Structure 1
């Protein structure tokens, strides 16, 4: 992966956020963050919740991504070292990481298929 999870800050509080570092130039629109837990055996659970799919955006090595759980407006700032910090907002009304044992899951999804469901009117 070209992104790594660095830390979760203020989990369970209003400014809860996950910080990700860019390790190689990439498009963050190929990544999703979700929350889940661990199974009794210590494996990542398949009961994922609250997916956040980043918008298409080219980012460079050493840039930072900060994803807040709360509502807000996307922004960015150039750091003194020339890297950029990008700020995104999940838009949720409650915190995601509020229990010990919660798991932040980062997925790289560079291909997908979609299909629109159409419901036909029932005949009377």
Structure 2
């Protein structure tokens, strides 16, 4: 995978955020972050919550993606070493990472399909 969660900072607080390292040039729009927990067997639960699908944006190897839980405006800042830090905002009114048993799940999505539901009469 071309991205990896480095860590969650200030979990349970107003500036709660996830740091994601970019390992190779990629489109961050092919990634999705989910909040989940662990099962009693220690496996990642399939009860996912609070999905965040990044908008399409090309990011480069060495860049950092910061996903804040709070509201804000997407932006970027160039770093002294020539890399870029990209800031994204989930837009939620409450914290996501507020329990020790929480799990941040990063998914890479190469393909997807949508289908509009219409109610049969």
Q: Same fold per TM (> 0.5)?
A: yes
Which 5+ residue runs of structure 2 have no aligned equivalent?
none
- For these two proteins, the number of residue pairs brought into alignment is 121
Q: Deviations over 1:49-73 (max 9, x none)?
A: 0000000011100000000000000
Alignment of 1:24-35 (within 5 A): 24-35=24-35
Distance, in Å, in 1 between the alignment partners of 2:119 and 2:70 is: 34
CA distance in 2, matches of 1:84, 1:54: 16
Deviations 1:83-117 (A, max 9, x none): 00000000001000000011000000110111011
Which aligned pairs between 1:4-43 and structure 2 lie closer than 5 A?
A: 4-43=4-43
User: Rg bigger for which structure?
Assistant: 1
Match of 1:97 in 2: 97
**Structure 1 gap segments, 5+ residues each:** none
Normalised TM-score (structure 1): 0.95
In 1, distance between residues paired with 2:72 and 2:111? Answer: 28
RMSD: 0.8
Q: How does 1:71-110 map to 2 (within 5 A)?
A: 71-110=71-110
CA distance in 2, matches of 1:114, 1:75: 28
